[in-house]
A and B are shown apart, each in its own frame.
Chain A
Amino acid sequence: MMELVCPAGTPAALRAAVDAGAHTIYCGFADETNARNFPGLNFSRDELAAGVAYAHRRGSKVLVAINTFPRAGSEQLWHRAVADAKTAGADAVILADLGLLAHAADHHPELRRHLSVQAAAANPDAINFYASTFGVRRVVLPRVLTVAEITAINREIDVETEVFVFGGLCVMAEGRCSLSSYITGKSPNMNGVCSPPSHVQYVETRGELAAKLGGYTIHRNAKDAPAPYPTLCKGCFHSEDKTGYVFEDPSSLDAKDLIPALAKAGVTALKIEGRQRSRSYVAQVVRSFRGAVEAVAAGRPVPPGTLASLTEGQAATTGAYRKTWR
C-alpha cells in the first residue's frame, strides 16, 4: 500500500490523523525552523516526544520538518532542532538546506533524512546528488512535474519519492520563490511563512472589498461575496489588456483520482498539505485518502466521494501533474 503522509500542526491534529489511519505524520517545532511557522501552531519538544510515542504505539511514524534555510549567524537553532527531533524519537527529519543536510549527515548519520519539497529537486541528477552526497533516503518532489516525468525520474533513482496529492498548491518551484518577501519582507525560505496574515488587510471602498497584502490589492470582490485569502500568486491582476489570474486561479490541489497513475509511476508516499488546518479537516482528508490507497492496493478503483467542501471553497486542480497546466 502507498504510504499516506499527513500533516499535524498541533498534538490534537497528530492524534486525529493517527486515529484516522495516517501511516505517517509530519510536523515541526514552534519556531522559524519549519515552513509553517504560524502563531499558535506546531510542537514544543515535550509535545513532539509525546506525539511520537502516541504514533509509535499505533504503528504510525513521525517525520519532523526542519525545512527553512538557516539564518546566517544562527545556524545553531536549526542544528538543535535536528538533534532534538532525534532525541524525541522521530523516524526522519525533512531538510532542504545544503549546509543543514551536511550537518545532519555528519553529526546524526543514523537519523533518516528526507529531502524537503523546499529543495525543489526536480530531476534525477539533483536527486542522485542529494542521495549520494548526504545519504538522503526519500525526496519530496516539487509540484512542477507531470506524472510522466515522475515515472521517468523513478527509473533513474534508487531512493523513495513522495508527492503532494491534496491541499495548498504552490505555483512556483518551492524554495525558490521570494514573492512573499518582496511584498511583505517575510518569506517561506527565511521565515517559514508565505503571504502572512500579519500583512493582510481587507479594505472596503465603493461597495467593494479589496483583499490586500502588504498594501497591494490581490483580490477585489463585491462586498457581500466571499473574500478569498490574499495569497499573492493566486490574485487577480492587470497585465496590459488582460485582467485575470495571471499566475493561478484560487484553486487547491486534489490528485486523488491520479493515485493509480502515481502508484504506477513508482511513487512511495502521498503527502497531504495543511499543517495549519484543524484536526477535523485533517481527520476527514486522511480517512478519505486512506480509503483511496487501500482501494488502489487491492486493485479497485479510487472510491468516489468528494472533498470539494474542503478545497478552500475553491476549484480543485490536479496542478502540474497534467501537462496542460503549464
Chain B
Amino acid sequence: MQLTVGPNQFFWDAALWRDFYLRLADEAPVDTVVLGELVCSKRLPFYQTHFPDVIERLQAAGKSVVMTSLALITLKRERKLTEELVDMGLEVEVNDLSVLPHLPAGAAFSIGPLVNVYNEGTLGWLAARGARRICLPPELPLASIAILAGAAAVPVEVWGWGRLPLAVSSRCYHARLHDRAKDNCQFICSADPDGRAVDTLDGQKFLAVNGVQTLSASCANAAHQLPGLREAGVASLRLSPQADGFIEICKLFSDLIDGGIDAETLSANALPQAPGGQYADGFLAGIAGVDWSAGKGLAVVG
C-alpha cells in the first residue's frame, strides 16, 4: 500500500505553501505528491512561482510529482492554463474530463477523485486511454471498490484522510458569505486554511466551504478500513493536505501500513489534528458518508 498526497484544496499564503511542500519533501514518508490548483484558477498566480523549487526538492527526495488540473474548467483562461499544465511535461492528474483532449499521445496522466469512475466500463476505458493510476470518487462503497480494483489493469487509489471534496459550483460561497461578488472576492478564502465550517441551526457540524468547493465538516479517516482496502486490491491511499500537523498524519499512516501501530492508535493520535475535530468513513461502508465506524472494520463481501 502506497501513500499519495493529494493536491492542497485550500488557499494558503505563498510562503507557507512553499514551506509546507519543502518540509513534505524532506520529512514525509509518502510516494507521490500531487501539486497544483484544484479549486480556483484565481489562486494560482500567487504561488506558482514556487513550483520549480518545490518540484525539484520533491523529486530529489525520491517522490513522484504529479500536477493536478482544475476541478471545473469553464473560462477561456482556465482552458489555457490546462494547456500550460500539460506543457510542463510532468504527469497530469485529470480532475475534469475536458483535460483529456489536451493530452498529446503518450503523455503521462492519471485520474483524480473528481472524475466519475463508478464502474468497470469507465475504468477500463480510461485505462485503455493510458491512465497510469485511478483515484476513485470518495462516495464509492467498499463493495464497488473491490470490484473495480479487481477489474483494473492499473493501480487504484482510495481517499484515506482529510475533508472530503463533496461538490463544486460556479458560485463562490466564501464571496457570498462576505457579501462580495465573485469577481471582487479579495481572496477571502485565504482566511480559512482548512475551509470554513457550516453548521446547522441546531449546532450540528455539517459541511465546510472553500471558495467554489463544498467539503465535509468531518475529516475522512480510512484507517480502520485498511484491511478491507488491502483485500480489495487497493494500491494507494490518498492523504489530503491540511494546514497543521500534516507531516505527523503522513507518518501515522506510514506506521499503520507498516504494522507499527494499529488503526485505533492512529485515530486517537491524529484526532487533535483532524479538521472539524471528528471522523467519518461512512462512504466506504455504503451508508451515509458522514457516519463513523468507530473502529469497526468492514469485510469485503465476495
Contact = CB atoms under 8 A, between A and B. Distances in A.
B52 to A, nearest CB: 27
Contact of B171 (A96, A182, A326): A326
A61 to B, nearest CB: 27
A102 B101 CA distance: 16
A220 B201 contact: yes
B101 A129 contact: yes
Given A97-B119, A175-B116, A242-B177, A102 B125 contact: yes
Contacts, number: 212
Interface residues of B, number: 72
B148 interface: yes
A182 B166 contact: yes
Given A216-B206, A239-B199, A98 B125 contact: yes
Interface string A215-233: 1111010000000000001
Interface stretch (B8-16, B55-63, B136-144): B136-144
A72 B171 contact: no
A53 interface: no
A176 B282 contact: no
Contact of A71 (B82, B101, B144): B144
Nearest to B205: A216
Given A214-B288, A326-B171, 13 more contacts: A69-B116, A97-B116, A97-B122, A99-B121, A121-B98, A125-B98, A129-B98, A129-B101, A172-B214, A178-B166, A181-B289, A246-B177, A325-B171
Nearest to A242: B177
A179 B288 contact: no
A178 B137 CA distance: 9
10 smallest A-B Cβ distances: which pairs?
Answer: A99-B121, A126-B98, A99-B122, A144-B170, A182-B289, A69-B118, A172-B167, A72-B144, A72-B147, A326-B182
13 contacts: A120-B72, A173-B170, A175-B116, A178-B137, A179-B207, A182-B166, A216-B204, A216-B206, A238-B198, A246-B176, A246-B209, A247-B169, A326-B182
Interface string A140-170: 0000110001001000000000000000000
Contacts of A99: 119-125
A73 B79 CA distance: 35
Contacts of B120: 72-73, 75, 99
B144 A182 contact: no
A97 B121 CA distance: 9
Given A149-B74, A176-B114, A182-B139, A237 B206 contact: yes
Contacts of A11: none
A173 to B, nearest CB: 5
Interface string A67-93: 001111101000000000000000000
B28 interface: no
Given A182-B139, A246-B198, A129 B119 contact: no
A309 interface: no
Given A72-B144, A144-B72, A214-B288, A172 B124 contact: no
B226 interface: no
Interface of B is mostly: mixed
B299 interface: no
A215 B205 CA distance: 12
A240 interface: yes
Nearest to B203: A238
Interface residues of A, number: 67
A215 B202 CA distance: 11
Contact of B204 (A102, A149, A182, A217): A217
Given A102-B121, A173-B170, A237 B198 contact: yes
B283 interface: yes
Given A71-B144, A178-B166, A183 B288 contact: yes
A217 B200 contact: yes
Contact of B73 (A123, A185, A323): A123
Interface string B202-229: 1110110100001010000000000000
A262 B197 CA distance: 37
Given A122-B72, A217-B200, A183 B125 contact: no
A252 to B, nearest CB: 16
A210 B202 contact: yes
Interface string B149-191: 0010000000000001011111111011100011100000000
A276 interface: no
Interface in B72-102: 72-76, 78-79, 82, 96-102
B1 interface: no
B235 interface: no
A65 interface: no
A110 to B, nearest CB: 20
B201 A237 contact: yes
Given A98-B125, A126-B98, A129-B98, A217 B202 contact: yes
